[in-house]
Copies of this chain bind each other. A is one copy, B any other.
Amino acid sequence: MPPFRFELLAEDAASGARRGRLHTAHGTVETPCFMPVGTRATVKAISQDDLEGLGAEIILANTYHLFLRPGHELIRALGGLHRFAAWPHPILTDSGGFQVFSLGALNTIEEAGVTFRSHLDGSQHQLTPELSIEVQLALGADIIMAFDDCTPYPATAEQTRVSLERTERWAERSREVWRAQGTGEAALFGIVQGGMYPALRREAAQRQVERGLPGYAIGGVSVGEPRELSYEAVAAAVAELPRDKPRYLMGVGTPEELVNYAALGIDMMDCVLPTRNARNGLLFTSQGPISIKNARHARDPAPLDANCGCRVCGRYSRAYLRHLYQSREILASQLNTHHNLFHYLDTMRQLRHAIGLGQLGSWRAEWSYNRSTQTEWPSRFSAQ
């Protein structure tokens, strides 16, 4: 039996939602799942003990960052990423493709790969499909990603076609290295691009599926486009993906978006939103978002969210959390991160339970009901 396997447990009758389970060499993951982002082999401001306590079953780490520091060879020498990061549970690594564009300076894209300068010291590097897979295999993640060309928004149909074709060729090269050098533990996912063109999304999905990979990801979503376009693009891709393989939507989203995408048939999602917003004092609650720096919380003895079961809501007042934030105390980042991740992971638990019971529709209606009553965030924070 291969170490990686996706088990489909239930399908919602009234939507595309699925209840499933990923089996990996480092344990199982109940889906639909949210994966906290651990860019530099740490989910910012929370310990591995606490992540376990929150029920996180899988985390993501970034190939680009770990390639530059401390280096994949060092991590390999120390027994791989699971041991290095003291996280003996499933890990997914991205390919680094997105970061060389968004973080690397002076990057140039060629057929061979992407040449860029490190955001740390300006040193020049080239990341190719081959190197990306080699680095990911050295890190030893359970799920690794093909090296892709992330289509920006907006992009013309012609630009999107060029990006799609490059992604296809790079996927092929990624797969070759994975087949030749992989030990069988790492499952390679192909990435569906195609921008905001449903026909291109469908084609991209079909061509990825022909590779017969262990799973498929959808990239190039939440890159600045209106949300209606995102849903349309995701739905077009999902329609072409096989029922028995996991579907990973990269880099999304708000809790509402996670629920919406799960209803379209997405099994896995990741996003920096809960952790990054936490450090900026932007907190998710069952009644909508809160900005803890708001003066109206200064004397409020109530918890962040009276309906939340997390340790932060059980112990601390909004007044204290505001004081910590205003004082720029590290504990502000710690507690806010803990709460936001609990909110995300608990949303996924509720969602999975509802799908399993065949009651997604009624749960979703009830869950959504109160969430817009409180809208304290500036609008630029509600999307990514």
Residue numbers of A with Cβ under 8 A of B are: 40-42, 44-49, 69-70, 74, 77-79, 83-86, 298-299, 301, 311, 315-317, 319-320, 323-324, 326-327, 329-331, 333-335
Contact = CB atoms under 8 A, between A and B. Distances in A.
Contacts of A40: 323-324, 327, 329
What 7 A-B pairs come out closest when comparing CB atoms?
A: A45-B330, A42-B331, A86-B315, A40-B327, A70-B323, A86-B316, A42-B329
B86 A323 contact: no
A78 B41 contact: no
A312 to B, nearest CB: 9
Contacts of A333: 330
A301 B78 CA distance: 7
A48 B45 CA distance: 15
Contacts of A84: 317, 319-320, 323
A286 B138 CA distance: 34
A139 to B, nearest CB: 13
Given A69-B327, A86-B320, 5 more contacts: A44-B329, A45-B334, A46-B331, A70-B326, A77-B299
Contacts of A78: 299, 301, 317, 319
Contacts of A334: 45, 47, 330, 334
Given A317-B78, A330-B333, A330-B334, A323 B41 contact: yes
A301 B48 CA distance: 17
A330 B47 CA distance: 10
Contact of A298 (B47, B48, B70): B70
Contacts of A301: 78-79, 83
A93 to B, nearest CB: 16
30 contacts: A40-B323, A40-B327, A41-B323, A42-B324, A42-B327, A42-B329, A42-B331, A44-B330, A45-B330, A45-B331, A45-B334, A47-B311, A47-B331, A47-B335, A49-B311, A69-B323, A70-B298, A70-B319, A70-B323, A74-B299, A78-B301, A78-B317, A78-B319, A79-B301, A84-B320, A85-B320, A86-B315, A86-B316, A86-B317, A334-B334
Contacts of A335: 47
A123 B340 CA distance: 36
A330 B41 CA distance: 12
A315, A324, A326, A331: residue with the most chain B Cβ atoms closer than 10 Å: A331
A158 B317 CA distance: 50
Nearest to A87: B315
A70 B46 CA distance: 26
A74 B317 CA distance: 13
A334 B83 CA distance: 19
A138 B80 CA distance: 53
Contacts of A79: 301
A317 B85 CA distance: 9
Which of A44, A46, A301, A320 gathers most chain B CB within 10 Å? A320
A141 B69 CA distance: 46
A48 to B, nearest CB: 7
